[in-house]
Amino acid sequence: MTDLSPISALGHAVPQAVRIGTLTITENAGLALASLALRQGGGAPQPFGLPLPGPGGWANAGATSAFWTGPGAWMIEADGRAEDDFASALKAEAPGCSVAEQTDGWAVFEIAASVATLEALLEKLVNIDASRFVPGSALRTGLEHMSVFLIRRTEGQLALWAMRSAAGSAFHAIEAAARRLDVA
Amino acid sequence: MLIPHPLLGPRDAQEFTYLGDASLLNRPDGMAEGALAAFCDYVYLRDNPAGVHRELWFHEQGDRSWLVVTRNTVTHEILGAELARDVALRRQK
Amino acid sequence: MTRLSGGLIDRSKTLRFTFNGKGYTGHPGDTLASALLANGVRLVGRSFKYHRPRGIFAAGSEEPNALVTLRSGARAEPNTRATVAELFDGLQATSQNHVGPLNFDLLAVNDLLSPFFAAGFYYKTFMWPKVFWEKLYEPMIRRAAGLGAMSMQADPDAYDKGFLHCDLLVIGAGAAGLAAALTAARSGARVILADEDFRLGGRLLAEGETLGDAIAPDWVAGVEAELASLPNLRILRRTTVFGAFDHGIYGAVERVGDHLPTPQTVRQTLWRITAKRTLLAAGTTERHIPFANNDRPGIMLAGALRAYVHRWAASPADKVAIFTSNDDGHRTAADLVAKGMQVTAVIDPRRDAKALGQYPLYAGAVVSDTRGRLGLSHVQITRDGAPVWVEAGALGVAGGWNPNLHLASHHRGRPVWSDAHLAFLPAAAGGPPGLSVAGAAAGQGTTQAALTHGAQAAQAALADLGIAASLPDLPAASDAKGNQHPLWHVPGKHRAWVDFQNDVTVKDIKLAHQENMRPVEHLKRWTTLGMATDQGKTANVTALAVMAELTGQSIPQTGATIFRPPYTPVSLAVLGGGDTGPNFRPRRLTPTHPWAAAQGAVFVEVGQWMRAQYFPRPGEATWRETVDREVLATRAGVGICDVTTLGKVDVQGRDAGSFLDRLYANPMASLKVGMVRYGLMLREDGHAYDDGTCARLAEDHYVVTTTTAQAGPVYRQMEFARQCLWPDLDVQLISTTDAWAQLSVAGPNARKLLERVVDGFDLSNEAFPFMACAPLTVCGGLRARLFRISFSGELAYELAVPARYGNALMARLVQVGADLGATPYGTEALGVMRIEKGHAAGNELNGQTTAQMLGMGKMVSAKKDAIGTVMTRREGMLAESRILVGLQPVDPADPVTAGAHLFAEGAAQDTWSDQGWITSACFSPHVGSAIGLGFLTDGVARLGEVIVAANPLEGKSTRLRVVSPHFVDPDGGRLRD
């Protein structure tokens, strides 16, 4: 175990969280992320028993989830494994695929609120049809000129992956939009 | 504009980066005889039609697919879109 | 001049406001205009060119005259239409465009000079002498032009934006819009109903009509209550849909807080609405009839007069006259009489006109002149050549109604003239796809027709989408279609205004005709007709009709007016979006940012990145002192720099090597695992594009780097190559720029420093030579990647760790390397050291240079077909003899200026003698003087020669000696130690 101390994407020793009425935005520093891409002629694996979702989809099995990022490409999320070499673990689960470490390429903010509030927030942030972005959906899109992944985990839970270097700007954008909503 | 992404459905054009004429898919063989002349045409000669045009768009703020979009440059009507990779593979066959 | 009974205002509450400092009161439900009228204020401003006294002309967003500055201080907002400014307690308004008090404007002298200010005046007058333009004419015109003035202070309010999606967008909540929204919402479709007013109902609020057995406002309230209860419908009040864009995308501004004494969270929101179908139900705008002196305060549109009376219970004067060419004007007269007002005359050019109520009717007559210095007092009525003067404090003018088809023509859809309507109607085809027009905007102008047409249009639009909607039961309403007579202006000697906002008169149109500015586009530009905030909503069609009369052609032969976005003015603040200052655009921070900030680093913006520029220490007076110290410390001991911003792309797949061979001009497939190679990318036209390194981590795995600036474009290019050019290759790409914190550790003590953090990794020159790379662990088990590469010319490594550890690693290296002289350095020192080493960077890779110019011509492999290789063989490229050299001033005290051009000593300093330019320059603490890099004709052959760098901008020339670009360690021994 290294004796160096990590910092979260927002630059602090501990992940940040903010509550605005019933809406919460939480930096999740424990979620590991790795990319998985199929090689030509190779079949789709089921890493950790996870069926890989189709375009626009997010699928979850226990502590591991996957979302589609492009033709033949996915991101795999693993709860609480950010400190592990998760890419190597995934590589072992997906032999013959291209895997790259992505945990620290991104920062994820988990947003929880009522359905109406989440959809009102989405309307202010991204140009996607919020009411059609149902649980199990995942998309990459632009948010305030940043490239982000959005995942609707449940009716009331949204995850937003932003480039780690722009985590502060992304957090600001979400928080500013949330504060402008009429959230009781 | 809305680009009808073949995998993701209509997506706002702001998510895309525009490149231009889809003839850029037809890259000449650089090792062939007369490659220099072929490349001069490839690099510099483009049709610039007022009307139906096949053009390349990159879904940069999306799934990173290059698309061939058929668009009427006068009305902006979009007549179709497919993955550029599929077009390129078909061309090679 | 007082409040009448009734109206849609809340008399239980009183709102105080001021106009030009004087206090007045009004009620919730008032606009500034209705409150001013109710307080007897008719004079509200001065006209643009002639500074004529002007009053309120309309009752909606088409208002040309009543432009005021709202609020004060930083919130002062010029050119606001009083007719749409919702009254709030404490509102402050001031009039515009006058010098001295409003009722005694010193610039009113312009009115006496009016013969000089005719159409085309500026074009004709300010042409010569040329030198007068900048010094005299432009400042003078700028002072006189414009109406209100900006506060020149930062806007204190927040603006927002958002994105909405729907099946049906209904624009306008009048009779047609409400019927459409009701029809669509009941079907379950997702509907957005937007209206620019703060109250739904549109024209229904301005009439004394009944719908079924309810008075109009009550019927509206009933519909509104049902709509509000439906979750699939969203009502956007105070929202102007200002533009129709491609593929069903509409721009709209919601004025969230404009009506509040102090805007709360957000002042305005810009909505980008993506609608599958759209109904334009924007109603109609009345037009006037130009006659002599028709611009006095008190003269207004007859329909506006009716609206002020019904909706706002505000009467502009005790005695009112109506000038109408149609039956609708008589309706106004009858309504006024019913409200107990005194109608002194109704003037109608039709000899067979019939009165609709008890008022004096002048059939077969016109208004031929008016009196009243700061407000109307009398109108002159001429019948059969015999004029009489009749007293009137207000005159309603009714010249017919123009459909508000603006959005339907935003894609250049040309409206079609209808003789039956005496108006342009939206064309059946050619408008924005997916948009249809309903109700009065489509010529279905009676209340009954508008209701029915609105419901049917919604049904048809939804049927297109496969959504079945049934028609609601609609109430019985007025279906009276009045007659109208085409009267476009009253001929006469005096000025008759067509466009009030731009002071364009019938005479100006005659002049335009005389000077052959006849096509409608020329007419507009020659006279300024239809420009500015109202965009000629009350003027354009009338002007066209006058021009038609002059040319002897029909109106459709003369032309048609079409429109561009925005429908009404949109503030730049709301287009600019919500964030200002440091949040105006995303900021990317490097992994070591917190540590650098704690050290007092000065940061510099590099694209979106904030990078440490230098790390000043106490006692250092200038940045140069700091940078010199950082450079010398690195070259003497060891320096550490965060280089995370360089783009990193992970390349995997069986064909990864072959793929990179096609992307880089030099070979990459032959690179051994565990080694790194410099790579140069070309554009397909043969010019240098970008450079970086390729590290081969495994047979099927490379990590390549790009320059910071080109990380995005290079990745795009790589995906283009992968998907479009060589789709048969097995290769997968993903950016890992942010994933790894990458620190450059450079200097003679670099190895010693790294030995203190690696976990038993052999760093000896034999085990890990120059250009080696390897995965390893550091600091007790942290996974890392090490690359032995150098940008500074020193023994150097780049160490990459997961980004979250970058900050701690930086602190650790500086801490454990204290005795080795470990010194953090920023981008300035980085730049100095790369110039000293003669490495090309962005200044040299500027898109106009070639591998040959960079001294890398031999790197371009002829044995493979890489992007750009073929085109480097063009004659012109091969003949290029400018090449990168080092430059050093002959007098060490002289500066070297980047951008300066190079000439042989004694040569003329002109284009024909130009021999190149300086790309990069800095002070080199290593050399002890300024140095530079530049491209010089036949440079290699001229080492030692003295040339001249010309800096004509500053009138300076400097003598420079041509030297090797490698000021430091030219044989590269330090790198390989």
Residue C844 has pLDDT above 60, yes or no: yes
Considering only the beta carbons, identify the residue of C583, C589, C736 that sits closest to A165.
C589
Cβ <8 Å between A127 and B61? no
Both A81 and A121 in a single domain?
no
Please report which residue ranges of C560-684 form alpha helices under DSSP H: 572-576, 593-598, 623-636, 656-663
pLDDT for position C909? 92
Structure-block tokens of residue C242: 């200002």
* Whether B14 and A147 lie within 8 Å, measured CB to CB: no
- Chain B residues near residue C864 by CB distance under 8 angstroms: 31
Which candidate, C264, C240, C279, C302, places its Cα nearest to that of C84? C240
Residue with tokens 């620190």: C743
The mean pLDDT value for C239-253 works out to: 97
Contacts B39 to C, Cβ<8 Å:
684, 870-871
Report the residue of chain A nearest C272, measured CA to CA: A127
Is B26 within 8 Å of chain C by CB? no
Q: Looking at the structure, tell me whether residues A40 and A127 fall in a common domain.
A: no
Of residues C273, C232, C244, C189, the one with CA closest to residue A129: C273
Which of A16, A133, A161, A165 to substitute to test the interface with C, most C CBs within 10 Å? Answer: A165
pLDDT digits (tens, 9 = 90+) for C307-357: 999 999 999 999 999 999 999 999 999 999 999 999 999 999 999 999 999
Q: C274 vs chain B: nearest CA distance in angstroms? A: 9
How far apart are alpha carbons C349 and C345 in whole angstroms?
A: 13
> Within an 8 Å CB–CB cutoff, is residue B58 touching chain C?
yes
**Which of A105, A144, A179 lies nearest to residue C736, judging by beta carbons?**
A105
Chain C environment of A7 (Cβ under 8 Å): 594, 804, 807-808
The answer to whether residue A6 sits within a structural domain is: no
Neighbours of C323 (CB within 10 A): 30
> Do residues A90 and A112 both lie within one domain?
no
Q: What is the C-alpha separation between C788 and A149, in angstroms, rounded? A: 34
Minimal Cβ distance to C164: which of A4, A123, A145? A123
Question: A147: domain range?
Answer: 17-29+105-179
Q: How high is the pLDDT of residue C368?
A: 97
Nearest to B14 among A56, A140, A142 (CB): A142
pLDDT for residue C819: 98
For residue A44, tell me if it sits in a domain: yes
Return per-residue pLDDT of chain B as tens, 93 residues: 999 999 999 999 999 999 999 999 999 999 999 999 999 999 999 999 999 999 999 999 999 999 999 999 999 999 999 999 999 999 877
Residues A138 and A52 in one domain: no
Q: Which long-range contacts (CB under 8 A, 24 or more apart) does B15-18 make?
A: B15/A127, B15/A141, B15/A142, B15/B59, B15/B60, B15/B61, B15/B62, B16/B57, B16/B58, B16/B59, B16/B60, B16/B61, B16/B62, B16/B67, B17/B57, B17/B58, B17/B60, B17/C716, B18/B55, B18/B56, B18/B57, B18/B58
Mean predicted lDDT score pLDDT of chain A: 96
Check whether C401 has a pLDDT greater than 80. Answer: yes
Is the domain of A85 the same as that of A131? Answer: no
pLDDT at C588 over 80: yes
Q: Pick the residue with more confidence: C148 or C510?
A: C510
Nearest CB to C723: which of B13, B76, B84? Answer: B84
The 8-class DSSP code of residue C133 comes to I
Contact (Cβ atoms closer than 8 angstroms) between residue C31 and residue C37: no
Q: Which of A86, A101, A116 is the last residue of a domain?
A: A101
Find the largest Cα–Cα distance for chain C: 115
Query: Is residue C42 within 8 Å of C295, Cβ to Cβ?
Result: no
Asked if B7 and A55 come within 8 Å (Cβ–Cβ), the reply is yes
For residue A144, the domain's CATH number is: 3.30.1360.120
Domain match, A67 and A129 both: no
What pLDDT is recorded for position C482? 87
Same domain, A112 and A90: no
Tens-place pLDDT, residues C417-460: 999 999 999 998 889 999 999 999 999 999 999 999 999 999 99
Please tell me the distance from the alpha carbon of residue C802 to that of residue C594, in angstroms, as a whole number.
16
- Name the DSSP letter for residue C226: H
Tell whether A116 is covered by a domain.
Answer: yes
Q: Check whether C787 has a pLDDT greater than 80.
A: yes
Q: Is C896 helix (H, G, I), strand (E, B) or coil?
A: coil
Residue in B with minimal Cα distance to C434: B77
Which of C160, C738, C780 is facing A163, going by the closest CB pair?
C738
pLDDT tier, C954 (very low <50, low <70, confident <90, very high otherwise): confident
Best residue in C717, C724, C871, C873 to probe B by mutation, most B CBs within 10 Å?
Answer: C724
With contacts defined as CB-CB under 8 Å, which chain A residues touch B85? 71
The tokens of A128 are what? 């996607």
Cα–Cα distance for residue pair C868/C885, rounded to 1 Å: 24
User: What is the rounded average pLDDT of the residues C383-408?
Assistant: 97
**3-state secondary structure (DSSP) of residue C484:** strand
Confidence of residue C145 (pLDDT cuts 50, 70, 90): low
Beta-strand relationship, C91-94 and C15-19: parallel
Answer whether residue A2 is part of any domain: no
* pLDDT tens-digit readout, A73-129: 999 999 999 999 999 999 999 999 999 999 999 999 999 999 999 999 999 999 999
With an 8 Å Cβ cutoff, is C412 touching chain B? Answer: no
What is the pLDDT averaged over residues C276-282? 98
C465 contacts C189 by C-beta, under 8 angstroms: yes
Closest CA to C841 of C859, C856, C854: C854
pLDDT band at C99 (very low <50, low <70, confident <90, very high): confident
> Would you call A71 and B65 a contact, using CB atoms and an 8 Å cutoff?
yes
Q: What value does the mean pLDDT take over residues C539-556?
A: 94
Q: Does B92 touch chain A (CB under 8 A)?
A: no
Q: Look at residue C977 in the predicted model and tell me its pLDDT.
A: 84
pLDDT average, residue stretch C607-615? 97
**Mean pLDDT of the C509-519 span:** 92
Q: Which residue of chain A comes nearest to C271, CA vs CA?
A: A124
Residue-wise pLDDT for C732-760, tens only, equals 999 999 999 999 999 999 999 999 999 99
From the number of C-beta atoms within 10 Å of its C-beta (0-12, 13-18, 19+), residue C787 rates as buried
pLDDT at C53 over 90: yes
Contacts with A147 from chain B: Cβ below 8 Å: 60-61
What single DSSP character describes residue C86?
A: B
Quick one: A42 and A24 in the same domain? no
DSSP 3-state percent helix, strand, coil across chain A (nearest 5): 25, 35, 40
Which of A95-99, C123-127, C890-894, C959-963 shows the lowest mean pLDDT across its residues?
Answer: C123-127
> Of A78, A101, A124, which residue constitutes the final position of a domain?
A101
Average confidence score pLDDT of chain C = 94
Asked if A71 contacts C732 with a C-beta cutoff of 8 angstroms, the reply is no
Cis bond upstream, residue C586 (ω within 30): no
How much is the average pLDDT of C936-943? 95
Of C247, C720, C871, the CB nearest to B66: C720
For residues C62 and C29, the answer to whether their CB atoms sit within 8 Å is no
Domain ranges of chain B: 2-25+36-92
CB atoms C586 and A166 under 8 Å: yes
| AA letter at C767 | A
Query: Is position A7 within any domain?
Result: no
Q: Which of B61, B83, B86 best tests the A interface by mutation, with the highest count of A CBs <10 A?
A: B61
CA quadruple C146, C149, C155, C159: dihedral sign: negative
Q: Do A140 and B85 touch (CB under 8 A)?
A: no
Q: Which residues in chain B are contacts of C720 at CB distance < 8 A? A: 19, 56, 58, 66
Superfamily of domain B2-25+36-92: Folate-binding superfamily (3.30.2270.10)
Angle between helices A115-125 and A167-180 (to 10 degrees): 120
Chain C partners (3+ C-beta pairs within 8 A): A, B
**What is the rounded CA–CA span in Å between residue C746 and residue B53?**
52
- C609, C730, C734: residue with CB nearest A40: C730
Distances from the Cα of C106 to the Cαs of C22, C50, C53, C97, C103, in angstroms? Answer: 21, 11, 12, 10, 10
Q: What is the pLDDT of residue C265?
A: 85
Structure tokens at C650: 């992970």
How high is the pLDDT of residue A48? 96
CB contacts < 8 A (A, B): 34
Q: For residue C55, name the pLDDT band (cuts at 50, 70, 90).
A: very high
Q: In the structure, what pLDDT confidence band is assigned to residue C79 with cuts at 50, 70 and 90?
A: very high
Chain A: closest CA distance from residue C714 (Å):
16
Q: How many CA atoms lie within 13 A of C927 on its CB side?
A: 28
For the ranges C14-18, C74-78, C84-88, C116-120, the lowest mean pLDDT is seen at C116-120
In whole angstroms, give the CA distance from residue C228 to residue A31: 42
What's the confidence (pLDDT) of residue C121?
67
What pLDDT score was predicted for residue A71? 97
Measured distance CA(A119)–CA(A113) in Å, rounded: 9
From the list C46, C68, C120, C108, the residue with the least C-alpha distance to C529 is C120
Lowest-confidence region among A51-60, C378-387, C560-569:
C560-569
Q: How far is CA B61 from CA A57, B5, C526, in A?
A: 16, 13, 45
| CB–CB contact B60 A147 (8 Å) | yes
Interface contacts B/C by beta carbons within 8 Å: 74
pLDDT digit string, tens, across residues C32-47: 999 999 999 999 999 8
- The partner residue sitting opposite C780, judged by closest CB among A3, A101, A165, is A3
* Burial readout A119-133 (b: 16 or more C-beta within 10 A, e: otherwise): bbbbbbbbbbbbeeb
pTM beyond 0.90, yes or no: yes
Contact B63 A127 (CB under 8 A): no
Which residues of chain C neighbour A142 with C-beta distances below 8 Å? Answer: none
**Nearest-angstrom CA–CA distance, C162 and C365:** 54
Does residue A157 share a domain with residue A97?
Answer: no
Residue A24 pLDDT more than 80? yes
User: Above 90 in pLDDT, residue C107?
Assistant: no
- Predicted confidence at residue C143, as pLDDT, reads 64
Neighbours of chain A (3+ CB pairs under 8 A): B, C
B61: chain C residues, CB-CB within 8 Å: none
Any A CB within 8 A of B77 CB: no
Among residues of chain C, what percentage have pLDDT more than 70? 97
Q: Domain total for chain A?
A: 2
Q: Is the pLDDT of residue C49 over 90?
A: no
Residue C116 has pLDDT above 70, yes or no: no
On whether both A95 and A119 belong to a single domain, the answer is no
A68 and A23 housed in the same domain: no
Task: Give the Cα separation of C21 and C438 in Å (integer).
Answer: 44
The rounded distance, in Å, linking the Cα atoms of C527 and C70 is 29
Say if A12 falls within a structural domain. Answer: no
Arithmetic mean of pLDDT, C275-287: 98
Return the residue of A nearest to C161 by Cα: A124
**Of A80, A101, A122, at which residue does a domain stop?**
A101
